Amino acid sequence: MRSPWIKPGLAVAVALAAGLPQACAAEPDPATRLKLLVDAYPESLAGVDGNRLVFRDGGSALEIDDGRTKDHQAALKAGDVEDSLRQIYPLGACEMTPAVNADPGRIRSDALMMRLYGGSAKAVEADLVRVDWFGATLRVTKRQGAAAALEKVRDALAERPELKRYLAPSAGTFNWRKVSGAPNLSVHSFGAAIDLNTKYADYWVWSGGKPGKVPTYANKYPLEIVDLFERHGFIWGGRWYHYDTMHFEYRPELIAIAKAAGASACR
């Protein structure tokens, strides 16, 4: 089985063939990315055994690389763990226009997310807790530290009252559903995502975009908000070519990989 996570040289070739951004020398190698993934979810992940992720619950290990070469749209529809870690997320309180199909974090492994948060709406709901959010109460998963991280974001944002209009009312957190127009599950399904006030939202579909062809990037949210979310393990949908600027999701592994890569939106 081809495994670019064991043979890093092949990872670049596969990325080029798929039309994805190729790795540069400063980026963490596949083994480092997997270690950072495991470190980001100590509640559930025990380690890596060859081409498999090992879980603390003793359940079956999860294949990291399914051996299939995918273009960007195929990876979005049915990504494996390898696919989900390939693109590097850029950090910082700076705005940048994402390159075509640069969607770091938008590619996910549903199988991994279900193991981290629950394999059904009922299973996820069992771990939802209530988080106060600027006059409202939101339901967020306590698994993997997501709710605690969102509370830290809230407390930091509360010190900036001029930002409140962008934050509330929230457009929602937990909602077991697929991504609009796609077969894979939204991170909202796992109670690990939040949408801010839709009044200021921009979305690639609303701009008349098509998959792989988005004509206009736009954003109305202050970058101070983005920076505070990122500091606590959340990525922003405004960093995606297929942008969704009101959307934040808890993906601490991608923040850790970004830090290891020195990836900055301010360059």
DSSP 105-131: TTS--HHHHHHHH-SSHHHHHTTEEEE
Q: What is the pLDDT of residues 168-202, one digit of tens each?
A: 999 999 999 988 777 889 999 999 999 999 999 99
pLDDT at 179: 83
Q: What is the pLDDT of residues 151-175, one digit of tens each?
A: 999 999 999 999 999 999 999 999 9
Residue 263 token pair:
């990836």
DSSP 142-188: -GGGHHHHHHHHHHHHHT-GGGHHHH-S--BS----BPTTSSSBPGG
Instruction: Please tell me the pTM assigned to this model.
Output: 0.90
Q: What is the mean pLDDT of the chain?
A: 90
Give the β-pairing of 193-195 and 136-141: unpaired
Does residue 13 have a pLDDT over 50? Answer: no
Does residue 2 have a pLDDT over 50? Answer: no
**Per-residue CA distances from 14 to 18, 20, 50, 158, 176 (Å):** 6, 8, 19, 44, 33
Give the three-state DSSP class for 238: helix
Spatial distance between the Cα atoms of 74 and 153, rounded to a whole number of angstroms: 33
Whether 105 contacts 89, CB under 8 Å: yes
Does residue 240 have a pLDDT over 60? Answer: yes
Mean pLDDT of 214-219: 93
Of the CA atoms within 13 Å of residue 85, those in its CB half-sphere come to: 28
Does residue 10 have a pLDDT over 60? Answer: no
